């Protein structure tokens, strides 16, 4: 269904951005919908889900009365843009349908389940002129923006090496069944857990010149993986380690020629710098910052709406989302098997920290 619509700048003054939430599963229900309802800049005018009763239940839960439909093509006349929060392999068709109708799109990460499908979305956005944003919401954290500023300013000296790790014990949670199917998710723990940092790595340091990758996949989604990145222009080397079977503290460590930066990967963490040879550490945080957890999903939605209205690129545009897809596929293409002894049958406390192994 193709429709015509007002250009972004022609949204009537005083009218809020009319938003559809496509997908009322866990991420849409628990993150995107409450964030949209908390914003004064949007109105949730449509909920789209092939399981219509699920969408109706969500509408009742939040006390709203949007248009409810099983397919986004049925609501295009009622919206200015859409958040796509559906399984990864469905992003392409839904996004292209919206973009062809000149409706802006915010896609829950990753952009798609493959680079080819992501490219199809980006090309549709180029053709239509509509806004395309990719939902790497951690980019909106104040501490991530601060760390980027400090790195760009050379505050810590020349960066030599970084390590990022995150792991949880217990395997895959059953709440989102598509994660258990490699064809629908596009990968395993690298995509589900690691993709937020891969996006930030590209944001901080650009695209690596070479890489290595190991995982424990035997045809299904990997539960453990380790990647190495090299940036030949600067001599920088980085490591990323992710697990669904072993607890690993979520942390980014950056070694520089002047000391070490430690950044616990959470909303409230501060940037800590420990200079070489000194017994003190420097703590960096923004002045007058608000205490409490940041609503990064609301900030992301409002960036999306303002990019649409101002006809400017959003913070995480389609090209950046496509670069992340390229990186993931390149990693999987050079895959080698991970030694199962790294995790199988061991207690988390008995497994050496991935951080320690790469920074000693």
Q: What's the mean per-residue pLDDT of the chain?
A: 88
Query: Are residues 200 and 63 part of one domain?
Result: no
Residue with the bigger pLDDT between 338 and 209: it is 209
- pLDDT confidence of 349, banded at 50, 70, 90? very low
178 vs 119, more confident: 119
DSSP H stretches of helix in 213-348: 296-310, 318-333
Residues 105 and 62 in one domain: yes
**Contact between residue 262 and residue 253 where contact means Cβ atoms under 8 Å apart:** yes
Digit-coded pLDDT (tens) for 44-66: 999 999 999 999 999 999 999 99
**Are the C-beta atoms of 81 and 19 separated by less than 8 Å?**
yes
What sign results for the dihedral spanned by CA atoms 220, 227, 114, 200? positive
- What pLDDT band is residue 15 in, cutting at 50, 70 and 90? confident
Contact 108, 32 (CB under 8 A): yes
pLDDT at 342: 62
* pLDDT per position as a tens digit, 92-144: 999 999 999 999 999 999 999 999 999 999 999 999 999 999 999 999 999 99
**Least confident interval from 83-92, 264-273, 310-319:** 264-273
Q: What is the pTM of this model?
A: 0.88
| pLDDT at residue 359 tops 50 | no
In a domain, 311, yes or no: no
Q: Is the pLDDT of residue 183 over 80?
A: no
Q: Which one has a higher pLDDT value, 5 or 32?
A: 32
- Structural domain tally of the chain? 2
Q: Please give the residue that has the higher pLDDT: either 344 or 313.
A: 313
- Supply the pLDDT for residue 70: 98
45 lies in which domain range?
A: 8-130
> What are residue 300's phi and psi, to 5 degrees?
-65, -45
Residue 275 has pLDDT above 50, yes or no: yes
The token duo for 122 is 């980006």
CATH of the domain at 38: 3.40.50.720
CATH of the domain at 252: 3.30.360.10
Let me know if residue 300 belongs to a domain: no
Structural contact between residues 17 and 81, judged by C-beta atoms closer than 8 angstroms: yes
At 14 the pLDDT is 75
Statement: residue 350 has pLDDT above 60: no
Q: Residue 25: which H helix or E strand, with range?
A: none
What is the Cα–Cα distance from 24 to 54, expressed in whole angstroms?
Answer: 7
**215: buried, middle or exposed (CB in 10 Å: 19+, 13-18, 0-12)?**
buried
Q: Which of 111, 130, 149 is the last residue of a domain?
A: 130
> What are the residues whose beta carbons fall under 8 Å from the beta carbon of 179, sequence distance 6 or more?
172, 185, 188, 192, 221
The structure tokens listed for 296 are 């990064």
- 66 shares its domain with 149: no
Phi, psi of 145 (to 5 degrees): -65, -40
pLDDT of residue 287: 79
In a domain, 28, yes or no: yes
Tell me, yes or no, whether 157 and 118 share the same domain: no
255 shares its domain with 349: yes
Domain-terminating residue out of 97, 130, 163 = 130
pLDDT at 339: 78
- Residue 296 maps to a domain: no
Whether pLDDT at 207 is above 70: yes
Lowest mean pLDDT among 6-15, 158-167, 302-311: 6-15
Q: Which of 349, 355, 173, 358 is nearest to 247 (CA)?
A: 349
- Residue finishing a domain among 104, 130, 156: 130
- Is the pLDDT confidence value at 348 over 70? no
Residues 349 and 220 in one domain: yes
One domain for residues 115 and 159: no
Asked if residue 338 and residue 203 are part of one domain, the reply reads: yes
Helix ranges (DSSP H) in 115-193:
115-128, 142-152, 182-185, 189-192
Shared domain check, 122 and 168: no
Please indicate, yes or no, if residue 191 is contained in any of the structural domains: yes
- The confidence score (pLDDT) of residue 170 equals 79
Establish if 319 belongs to a structural domain: no
**pLDDT: which is higher, 152 or 10:** 152
> In this predicted structure, what is the pLDDT of residue 220?
83
**4-8, 33-37, 104-108: range with lowest mean pLDDT:** 4-8
Q: pLDDT value at position 352? A: 41
Rounded Cα distance, 51 and 19, in Å: 19
Q: 126 and 145: one domain? A: no
| pLDDT score for 343 | 55
The least confident of 21-25, 170-174, 252-256 is 170-174
Return d(Cα 139, Cα 289) in angstroms, integer: 16
Q: Write the CA distances from 300 to 48, 279, 285, 347, integer angstroms.
A: 20, 39, 21, 38
**pLDDT 10s digits, 242-271:** 999 889 999 999 999 999 999 998 888 899
Is residue 106 in some structural domain? Answer: yes
pLDDT exceeds cutoff 60 at 182: no
Residues 219 and 284 in one domain: yes
Residue bearing the bigger pLDDT, 220 or 231: 231
Same domain, 15 and 118: yes
In terms of pLDDT, which residue wins out, 1 or 217?
217
Q: Does the residue 74 lie in any domain? A: yes
The span from the CA of 238 to the CA of 263, in Å, is 15
Residue 193: pLDDT band with limits 50, 70, 90: very high
């Amino acid at each position: 269904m193709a429709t015509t619509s007002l250009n972004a700048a022609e949204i009537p003054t005083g009218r809020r951005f009319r938003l559809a939430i496509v997908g009322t599963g866990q991420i849409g229900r628990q993150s995107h919908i409450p964030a949209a309802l908390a914003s004064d800049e949007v109105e949730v005018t449509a909920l789209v889900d092939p399981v219509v009763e699920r969408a109706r239940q969500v509408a009742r839960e939040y006390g709203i009365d949007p248009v409810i439909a099983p397919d986004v093509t049925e609501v295009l006349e009622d919206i200015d843009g859409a958040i796509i929060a559906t399984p990864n392999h469905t992003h392409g068709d839904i996004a292209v349908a919206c973009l062809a109708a000149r409706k802006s799109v915010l896609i829950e990460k990753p952009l798609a389940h493959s680079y080819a499908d992501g490219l199809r979305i980006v090309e549709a956005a180029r053709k239509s002129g509509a806004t395309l944003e990719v939902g790497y919401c951690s980019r909106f954290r104040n501490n991530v923006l601060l760390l980027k500023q400090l790195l760009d300013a050379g505050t810590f000296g020349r960066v030599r090496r970084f390590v990022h790790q995150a792991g949880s014990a217990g395997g895959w949670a059953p709440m989102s069944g598509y994660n258990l199917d490699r064809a629908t998710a596009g990968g395993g723990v690298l995509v589900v857990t690691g993709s937020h940092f891969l996006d930030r790595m590209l944001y901080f340091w650009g695209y690596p010149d070479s890489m290595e990758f190991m995982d424990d996949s035997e045809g299904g989604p990997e539960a453990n993986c380790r990647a190495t990145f090299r940036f030949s222009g600067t001599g920088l080397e980085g490591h990323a380690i992710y697990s669904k079977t072993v607890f690993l503290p979520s942390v980014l460590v950056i070694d520089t020629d002047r000391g070490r930066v430690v950044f616990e990967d959470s909303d409230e963490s501060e940037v800590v710098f420990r200079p070489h040879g000194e017994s003190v550490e420097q703590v960096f945080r923004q002045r007058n910052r608000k205490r409490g957890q940041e609503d990064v999903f609301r900030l992301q939605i409002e960036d999306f709406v303002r990019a649409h209205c101002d006809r400017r690129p959003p913070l995480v545009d389609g090209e950046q989302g496509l670069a992340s897809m390229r990186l993931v596929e390149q990693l999987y293409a050079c895959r080698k098997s991970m030694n199962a002894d790294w995790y199988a049958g061991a207690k988390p406390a008995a497994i050496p920290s991935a951080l320690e192994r790469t920074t000693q």
